[in-house]
Amino acid sequence: MISESRSELDRFLGLEVYGTSTQGVGGIIRKRLEDFIVEEIPLHGGSSGNLLLLVVEKRGIDTLTAAVRLAEKLKIPLRHVGFAGLKDTRSISRQRFTVKAPEDINISALSDRNMKIVAAYRSKKHLRPGMLLGNSFSITIREMSLPLNEVKVILEETLLQMEELGGVPNFYGYQRFGINRPNTHIIGKLLIQGDYEKAVMELLASPYPNEPQSHREARAFLAGSMDFKKALKKFPKSLIFERLIIKWLIKKPGDYVGSLKALPKYVLTLYVDAYLSYIFNKALSERLRKVKSLKVVLEGDIIAKSDAYGNPLRPTFIAKGDFKEVKSDELILAFVPASSITRVKGYMNELILSLFKKDGLEPPFKNLEEIGLQGRLGLIRQITFKPLNLTYRVIEDEKALNLSFVLPKSSYATMFLREVMKPEDPIASGF
């Protein structure tokens, strides 16, 4: 059932294979914002506390932009805005933010044309990444070239192959690396290598073809001139983090480490994690080629029980033998180290270390200490997920296909859609 991807972008991001061999239904997602709707499924919490928990409906903006806007409106540091997960920019999404705000705050004043406060509660704890159960989706695929009866046949066969495989390969999706600038893993690798100047210049001055023209022009100017003062005038205000770095370098020329530390810590973590995510994708691709199943347990695999949404629970245990199938209420996880080392023997550990070695790297990554990320142990991630409550309907008069489903946290709807659609050009297909 495993098939190779023909997409250049896929291979650049480590998404080298599909878990299914069907033709794919093709088509485009996100023709309209309403075609991609996502809503967080929150953890159960209380109704008291000194923090404000906001349920925000975002239209066409990313989570970090929404967090920055809330910080500006409330006149609080960005670090005092908490959220549980990153949501797609090109979507209508409902997610939760926690902020420090007085009880008499005018909630309606926090809304604008891209984000609407739909509810507010009190909370005792700031939200942190991962503090949710999952996400529910309603996604519409349009402009499929196949007849709708063929679309239904292909979809059913794809779902059947996924079931036989053991679920959807839990790759990190395109959003993890940047849609218009798929280079977060490149920046992360440079940070791990300790090449801070090159990391900064990749972040600031490497134009990518799918960026807005104003962004490309500003980056190209800086790359050619290295004039940070003049570049600041050219960089659009929407490039918040780039402008933070440039302002620092205007004040302290050549202080690339300081300029990176001027960024919120979670932004640096996103870059480092993107590189670890790329290594995970490469390793999962190779595992699929070798084993051709996501059910088969290999020696050294991390095994965990799953909750009702498909999230791993603690405690975990290490598999001692090969070639048995995981139980229906269990998950297989893989660990990608950063500021730690692992002594676990087994296929995935050895494969991941060999991928690092090809890049001239070996954990623990001591250079992360210089930019304040010494506590980043690494990533642990399940190798598969299963869409829950999946329903679909063909919209005859619009020649479209709508899919509704629930996913566990830390999984990407686009990786499920990738198996269904098999896009040769993911960006042109709306991914």
Written as one letter, the residue type at 250 is I
| Digit-coded pLDDT (tens) for 67-123 | 999 999 999 998 899 999 989 889 999 999 999 888 788 999 999 999 999 999 989
In one letter, which amino acid is 31?
A: K
Within the chain, what is the greatest distance between any pair of CA atoms?
Answer: 63
141-165: average pLDDT? 97
The reported pTM is 0.92
The residues facing 136 across adjacent strands are: 39, 406
pLDDT tier at 344, thresholds 50, 70, 90: confident
Residue 4 backbone dihedrals phi, psi, to 5 degrees: -85, 140
Asked whether 415 and 171 are in contact (CB, 8 A), the reply is yes
Reply yes or no on whether the pLDDT at 377 is more than 80: yes
Q: How do beta strands 92-99 and 36-42 pair?
A: parallel
Q: What is the pLDDT of residues 16-33, one digit of tens each?
A: 999 999 999 999 999 999
d(CA 276, CA 278): 5
Number of Cβ within a 10 Å radius of residue 294? 25
What residues contact residue 148 under an 8 Å CB cut-off, 6+ apart?
A: 394, 396, 399, 401
The pLDDT of residue 342 is above 90: no
Contact 384, 332 (CB under 8 A): yes
Find out whether the peptide bond into 364 is cis, omega within 30 degrees of 0: yes
**Burial bucket for residue 219 (CB in 10 Å: 0-12, 13-18, 19+):** buried
Tens-digit pLDDT profile for residues 240-276:
999 999 999 999 999 999 999 999 888 999 999 999 9
Q: Answer yes or no: is pLDDT of 281 > 80.
A: yes
Q: What residue type is 268 in one-letter code?
A: L
Amino acid at residue number 147:
P
As a whole number of angstroms, the distance between CA 240 and CA 396 comes to 43
Which whole number is the average pLDDT over 188-194? 97
Residues with catalytic function: 88
Sheet with strand 378-382: strands edge to edge: 312-318, 302-306, 330-337, 378-382
pLDDT value of position 50:
87
CB 65 within 8 Å of CB 115: no
**Alpha helix (H) residue ranges in 30-168:** 63-74, 148-165
Q: How are the residues of the chain apportioned to helix, strand and coil, as percentages rounded to the nearest 5? A: 40, 25, 40
Task: Identify residue 158 by its one-letter amino acid code.
Answer: T
Whether the pLDDT of residue 187 is over 90: the answer is yes
Percent of the chain predicted with pLDDT > 70: 99
